[in-house]
Amino acid sequence: MRTHSLTASRYLPLRQIDVRSLVLVLALLWATTLGLNANADSIEGREIPTWSNDSILLPELAFGGSVYSVELSLYSSSTNDVLKVSDSHLIGPAGAPDSYYDHAARFANNTLSIPIFESGGLYFAVELEPLISFTEVAPLFRLKNLWQVTPGKLSVPIGGLDYVSGTKTGVTDSQGRFYSVQGSPVAFSIGALTLGNSVSNTAANATAYASLFTLGEKDSAYSRSLQVLGLLDADNNSVNGIQISSTMKQSAASALAATSLTSASFASQYTSLSGSAKGVNAAAMSYDADAAQINFQKLEIQSYMLTRLQQKSIPGVSLSIELPNGEIWHTAAGVADTRTGEAMTPLHQFRIGSATKSFTGMLIMQLVDEGKLRLDQKLEEFFPGKFPNGDVTTIKMLLNHTAGIFSFTNEFPDFESAFGVTMDVEPSMTDLWFVRYIGMPGYVYKPGELVNIGASINSAFATNNATEARPYLVNKPGEQWNYSNTHYVLLQEIAEMLTQNTWQHEITTRFVEPLGLTHTTVPSPGDLLLEGTYARGYVNWADNQGKFVADLFGFPYTDIERSNTDPSYTMGSGAMISTAADLVKWANAVMEGKLLSTATQALMREPFEVRGAFGEDINMLQGIVQDLGLQVFGHRGQIVGYDASWQYHYRNANDILGTGTAMAVLLNRTLLTEIKPDGSFHISDVNEVMLEGILEILYGSN
């Protein structure tokens, strides 16, 4: 028997043969046969055929309205080398013809097409044509076309686009995948309507749709193409991808052929195309240029979020964002529960961590507005004798994190040497805040205990280590920006002293109820459990704190659910629960001056400049952070299992109200620690992972 494999040119002999003798026999065994358990290659999780050991498995082959799993093997006949069906298994109905886009192989139009298979680490596409045979029971197939191909994918899922590369033609599948001939560019169209220019394709990077056009997103032809894509989308819902059916292309063929994206008559051509489209889909929607752009940006954002979830091993994301046209869009991606596969929705609640500080800060500013408090009042007035520098530490310093009080969240093993402090009485390992935080989520701190951690360490530092070289988080008041959770628990307790109400009551009655934050809660100590529709949070302690810590507590080196952390661990610095939609309402209320008088709003906006804070240049306001690079005001929040951010983006620093838009993004995972090439580590945050890319889609690079 002579055996062979196929290669980039036409064929690669394993034992030299004449390609003209290559005849393939396809015998689809419709009778009941056993299913196949094959070790197939995959691209982005998509199973593809593999040629090995003289056979090829087609995991999916659409034929005659059904889908089969088919294995073809070489065998020797008296006249030819042939491929024979070794086994086949009926999978199910093929569905509508457009569902064939996602099948690995298809027998239709007198051609057996295998759009991609792998052999020897290379990818190929092949077309086979049937022959008439009087000696074989099954139909015979001869090699018609063979190409070495490069798998490609559009940056957004657009299915049903026609493409040509070299002599190969194809149609993008529902995920926007295509296969270009190696060394040849690929050109896209919708029927006879050309979409921009030919582009090169590399398997390493997705092809940005805008790259098809000479001027990218600034190209008028790009803008017009978005109008066409929106019009032809099968379900008029861009968020789940754009799908153009073969029926639509056939019925609108004349109108597509008469349309040019560069024509001065495009408007009238688009009107004619709309008529043809509505003849197929009565609900088809026509778009003007601005609406088409927003429609497509939604698709880009949704695709970006899904990509980032996969890249960063995050279960799910919830996003609410005010788009440039004023629409507030609520969306989500991924899952809220990895065990059940429950889909994430905009209604899922999250713990929002330090984003809580913005609520506590606005409570303090309202008390200033009401004349019950001044920003220059001293900490000593409220906590006499408790802090070494209480007589010079002001309310404003607490708000903008310049008070220099040790953060209770930094009470971890060996914190003394890390911060240069000698404790008169060292806390035991099991009393340390961070040890309890990791291993005792249900522990309930009593009022004042969190403040006492900061006070005791600041007092010990002042007594035993009073030097000019002050380490991080223990500094002279007003001189440095040092982020401390203790600052905001102090502010919480000061507000309670002044109002004679609990912090929870004040936040609820001043903000949650009046602003209609119907899915926002302010839990009290002991309210450990999340209830209702909530996203479960996840953490990998081995990754986050190291394998030693995971082993110490008996945690696996994988994600565990950690949705429940008692509110008393953070209180006014990080205990609240909310949704992205509610946080957008909050962002608008805070930044558009709906909660304070004009004068007090100006006080809230007074900045303390910080350069290089967590790698960013920021202005620290009173309870609010201005990120100068991203051009946003807001507050992030991280708490075990969750990462949250609400922001108010502006395009003009001198007119934030006129050019600002609110947004909030929530993740249900403590983000992975990433090791850099130099051995250092980096813990990314929700802004870096999600928000930066979303802002670039909407507004371009700053």
- The CATH number of residue 384's host domain is 3.40.710.10
pTM score over 0.75? yes
Cα distance between residue 265 and residue 91, in whole Å: 49
Mean pLDDT of the chain: 87
Q: Cβ-count burial of 387 within 10 angstroms (0-12 exposed, 13-18 middle, 19+ buried)?
A: buried
Residue ending a domain, among 101, 129, 152, is 152
Residue ending a domain, among 110, 127, 152, is 152
Three-state secondary-structure class, residue 199:
strand
Cα distance between residue 450 and residue 503, in whole Å: 15
Question: Does residue 389 have a pLDDT over 60?
Answer: yes
- What would the pLDDT profile of 487-521 be if each residue is shown by its tens digit? 999 999 999 999 999 999 999 999 999 999 999 99
Helix (H) or strand (E) holding 272: helix 266-280
Cα distance between residue 668 and residue 663, in whole Å: 17
pLDDT band at 46 (very low <50, low <70, confident <90, very high): low
Q: Cβ-count burial of 477 within 10 angstroms (0-12 exposed, 13-18 middle, 19+ buried)?
A: buried
Identify whether the C-beta of residue 137 lies closer than 8 Å to the C-beta of residue 30.
no
Domain annotation covers residue 283: no
pLDDT at 514: 98
Name the residue range of residue 589's domain. Answer: 350-699
pLDDT at 40: 42
Helix (H) or strand (E) holding 57: strand 55-63
pLDDT band at 538 (very low <50, low <70, confident <90, very high): very high
Question: Does residue 303 have a pLDDT over 50?
Answer: yes
Question: Does residue 14 have a pLDDT over 50?
Answer: no
pLDDT band at 611 (very low <50, low <70, confident <90, very high): confident
Helix (H) or strand (E) holding 503: helix 503-507
Question: Does residue 2 have a pLDDT over 50?
Answer: no
Question: Does residue 470 have a pLDDT over 80?
Answer: no
pLDDT at 21: 33
pLDDT band at 136 (very low <50, low <70, confident <90, very high): low
pLDDT at 36: 32
Q: Which of the pair, 443 or 112, is modelled with greater confidence? A: 443
Cα distance between residue 240 and residue 234, in whole Å: 11
The one-letter amino acid code at 160 reads G
Cα distance between residue 282 and residue 272, in whole Å: 14
- Highest mean pLDDT among 40-54, 97-111, 415-429 belongs to 415-429
Question: Does residue 24 have a pLDDT over 50?
Answer: no
pLDDT at 144: 85
Count of helix runs (H) and strand runs (E) in the chain: 19, 35
DSSP characters over 541-603: HHHHH-HHHHHHHT--SS-EE-----GGGTGGGT--EE-HHHHHHHHHHHHTTSSS-HHHHHH
pLDDT band at 47 (very low <50, low <70, confident <90, very high): confident
pLDDT band at 546 (very low <50, low <70, confident <90, very high): confident
Domain annotation covers residue 68: yes
Domain annotation covers residue 328: no
**212-239 core/surface letters (b: 16 or more CB in 10 A; e: else):** bbeeebebebbbbbbbbbbbbbbeeebe
Mean pLDDT value across residues 215-240: 96
In the block, which residue shows the tokens 């629960």? Answer: 577
Cα distance between residue 634 and residue 358, in whole Å: 8
505: DSSP letter: H
DSSP characters over 429-496: GGGSHHHHHHH-TT--PPTTHHHHHHHHHHHHHHHH---S-PPTT---TTTS----HHHHHHHHHHHH
User: Which region among 8-22, 170-184, 433-447, 536-550 has the lowest average model confidence (pLDDT)?
Assistant: 8-22
pLDDT band at 149 (very low <50, low <70, confident <90, very high): very high
Domain annotation covers residue 343: no
In the block, which residue shows the tokens 């953070």? Answer: 570
Residue ending a domain, among 128, 152, 176, is 152
262: DSSP letter: T
Question: Does residue 335 have a pLDDT over 80?
Answer: yes
Nearest-CA neighbor of 370 among 174, 599, 164, 540? 599
Domain annotation covers residue 190: no
pLDDT band at 50 (very low <50, low <70, confident <90, very high): confident
The one-letter amino acid code at 338 reads T
- What would the pLDDT profile of 73-128 be if each residue is shown by its tens digit? 776 655 555 667 777 888 888 766 666 556 668 888 888 888 888 888 899 998 88
pLDDT at 78: 53
Question: Does residue 35 have a pLDDT over 60?
Answer: no
Domain annotation covers residue 399: yes
Domain annotation covers residue 483: yes
Which residues does residue 661 pair with via DSSP β-bridges, in sequence order? 649
Domain annotation covers residue 178: no
Greatest CA separation found in the chain?
Answer: 105
Question: Does residue 653 have a pLDDT over 90?
Answer: no
For the chain, the domain total comes to: 2
